Chain A
Amino acid sequence: MKVRVNVTLKNGVLDPQGRAIQHALAGLGFGGVNDVRAGRLIELDLADDTSDAAIDEMCRKLLANMVIENYRIEKV
């Protein structure tokens, strides 16, 4: 079972990397880039009987830092 975990910064948490990417895009001449938020994509190859609860726990215990990040689990 392939699972993708999308980790993103919570709303309201300043994202310096996103800001730098936004400036770089502007520097390349792309207009109208109102905001950029950078996240992280983690792909997991899991045993088929892995429970949703276990995947959720992986996210909360390690893959995301719940102080600053949200995560979204996507089965592919």
Chain B
Amino acid sequence: MAFRAAVITFPGSNCDRDMAVAIEQVSGIAPHRVWHGDAELPEGLDFIALPGGFSYGDYLRSGAMAARSPIMQAVVRAAECGVAVLGVCNGFQVLTEAGLLPGALMRNAGIRFVCREVPLVVENNQSLFTAGYAADQRIVIPVAHHDGNYFADAATLDRIEGEGRVAFRYAEPVNGSARDIAGILNEAGNVLGMMPHPERMIEAAQGGIDGRALFEGAVRALVGA
């Protein structure tokens, strides 16, 4: 069955093409490209990706303006109907600002922009996004962000940990994130936000393929290919 995906582009997105290429390489089908000002998504989507970048120049707060753009209302409705939504880096910031994921991404604890490959641990390999990995598998994925310091109050952190909603954790300190959280799932498990960039580890020429299993797992889970 065809994998119907869409990549949203906001003004200032800069990883949207990488995301589209990753989806096409893994699924064999080019995703729809959707502009932030569109009010509607294509029909029958299996997967929506919010890419990295600096939407609206990070004005006000990273992801704040994008979260209120016309297309995000459609993305929120789609997520509530169970469509898989992946937010990477700025996409993760947009998902928290839109209220689809708890918490917030704050300025890195060390103030500096962090741009390097980081080791991650796959904490939950039961989700549709992470089923392509082994439990507790260590993978290497690049990060490139200024605001990746995940914050939530202690009760929220306890709840998402208790519910197995931490998808990825940093294997070493990167940005001051609470409990080294690198990626989290929503309650239903169909929304994943993560700061590392899996779309940048799809083919060997990029230095590794540890991001590929995320897309392969999602395609398998969603269309059984």
Contact = CB atoms under 8 A, between A and B. Distances in A.
Interface of A: 13-14, 16-17, 19-20, 61-63, 65, 67-68
Contacts of B151: 13-14, 67-68
Interface of B: 60-61, 64, 68, 96-97, 102-104, 106-111, 149, 151-152, 176
A20 B102 CA distance: 27
B111 A67 contact: no
A67 B110 contact: no
The 7 closest A-B pairs by CB, nearest first: A67-B104, A16-B107, A68-B104, A20-B111, A16-B111, A16-B109, A65-B104
A63 to B, nearest CB: 8
15 contacts: A13-B151, A14-B106, A16-B106, A16-B107, A16-B149, A17-B111, A19-B111, A20-B111, A62-B68, A65-B104, A67-B102, A67-B104, A67-B151, A67-B152, A68-B151
Contacts of A68: 104, 106, 151
B59 to A, nearest CB: 11
Contacts of B60: 62-63
Given A65-B61, A65-B97, A13 B68 contact: no
A65 B151 CA distance: 12
Contacts, number: 37
Given A14-B109, A17-B107, A17-B111, A65 B64 contact: yes
Contacts of A61: 68
Contacts of B108: 16
A67 B64 contact: no
B152 to A, nearest CB: 7
A61 B99 CA distance: 11
Contacts of B61: 65
A61 B149 CA distance: 22
Contacts of A63: 60
A71 B7 CA distance: 34
A19 B176 CA distance: 14
Given A13-B106, A14-B106, A65-B64, 10 more contacts: A14-B149, A16-B108, A61-B68, A62-B60, A62-B64, A62-B68, A67-B96, A67-B103, A67-B151, A68-B106
Nearest to B107: A16
A61 B111 CA distance: 27
A20 to B, nearest CB: 5
A62 B111 CA distance: 24
A14 B176 contact: yes
B36 to A, nearest CB: 16
Contacts of B109: 14, 16
A58 B192 CA distance: 28
